[in-house]
């Protein structure tokens, strides 16, 4: 079976729970409703043999309703099949966790929560993974300003270039080969 066959099987099995299937440039995407996405993912794991969850990402479609897409990238261990499962969610609408299906979903969902603000219901430990606890913004949303927002923690979140002079490492940009150009501890000079 191919990913295209699996998409047809999922559409037949879940009916209205699968909104559409898309094939573009050899990639197959199944779009499921938020209510059906957990069952679709479980079926992908058990019946369609997608043993690996490669990634979960959030996409902000500012101005569209529902605003967000959550995309799951699935693959078989032998790398013969790849399938993308998407669901469309409104702001503050929770998506069921997939961490009970794939353990690797834990950190991926935490990252989507941290950067996009999309909550995952039933997640065992939904807390920030990249930004500090208490940070009030979602940095990967399209309405987040490119210059950032003021922070009360300037030593943690700074936007100026990191100082090179006087640091613990040295680099030699004019060295004749890569080994000599690599940064190294001043103590090893």
Q: Beta partners for 82?
A: 75
* 8 A C-beta contact, residue 81 and residue 75: yes
Tell me if 142 is assigned to some domain.
yes
Count of domains observed in the chain: 1
Relative to beta strand 52-60, strand 68-75 is antiparallel
- Domain-embedded: residue 62: yes
**Residues in a beta bridge with 58:** 70
Q: Which residue shows structure tokens 């999922």? A: 10
In a domain, 120, yes or no: yes
DSSP helix, strand, coil percent of the chain (3-state; round to 5): 25, 25, 50
Express each pLDDT in 139-177 by its tens digit. 999 998 877 777 666 555 555 555 555 555 555 666 677
- Please give the pLDDT value at position 25: 93
Q: Is residue 76 part of a domain?
A: yes
How far is the C-alpha of 73 from the C-alpha of 75, rounded, in Å? 7
Considering the domain boundaries, does residue 39 fall inside one? Answer: yes
Q: How far apart are the first and last CA of the chain?
A: 58
pLDDT of residue 94: 97
Residue 103: which domain range?
3-155
Question: The pTM is what?
Answer: 0.79
Answer whether 188's CB lies under 8 Å from 171's CB.
Answer: no
How confident is the model over 5-25, as pLDDT tens digits? 999 999 999 999 999 999 999
- The rounded percent of the chain whose pLDDT value lies above 70 is 80
Q: Is residue 189 part of a domain?
A: no
Write the CATH number for 43: 3.30.460.80
Q: Which of 117, 123, 37, 47 lies closest to 85 in space, CA to CA?
A: 37
What values do phi and psi take at 114, rounded to 5? -65, -45
23 occurs within a structural domain? yes
Whether 70 maps to a domain, the answer reads yes
């Amino acid at each position: 079976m191919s990913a295209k066959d699996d998409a047809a099987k999922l559409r037949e099995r879940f009916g209205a729970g699968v909104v559409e299937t898309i094939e573009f440039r050899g990639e197959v995407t199944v779009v499921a409703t938020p209510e059906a996405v957990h069952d679709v993912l479980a079926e992908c794991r058990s019946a369609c043999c997608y043993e690996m969850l490669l990634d979960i990402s959030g996409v902000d479609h500012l101005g569209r309703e529902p605003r967000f897409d959550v995309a799951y990238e699935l693959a078989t261990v032998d790398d013969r099949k790849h399938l993308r499962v998407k669901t469309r969610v409104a702001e503050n609408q929770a998506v069921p966790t997939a961490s009970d299906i794939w353990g690797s979903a834990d950190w991926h969902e935490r990252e989507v929560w941290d950067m996009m603000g999309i909550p995952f219901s039933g997640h065992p430990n939904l807390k920030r993974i990249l930004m500090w606890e208490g940070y009030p913004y979602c940095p990967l949303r399209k309405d987040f300003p490119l210059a950032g927002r003021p922070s009360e923690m300037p030593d943690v979140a700074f936007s100026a270039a990191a100082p090179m002079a006087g640091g613990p490492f040295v680099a030699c940009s004019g060295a004749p080969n890569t080994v000599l150009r690599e940064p190294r501890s001043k103590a090893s000079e």
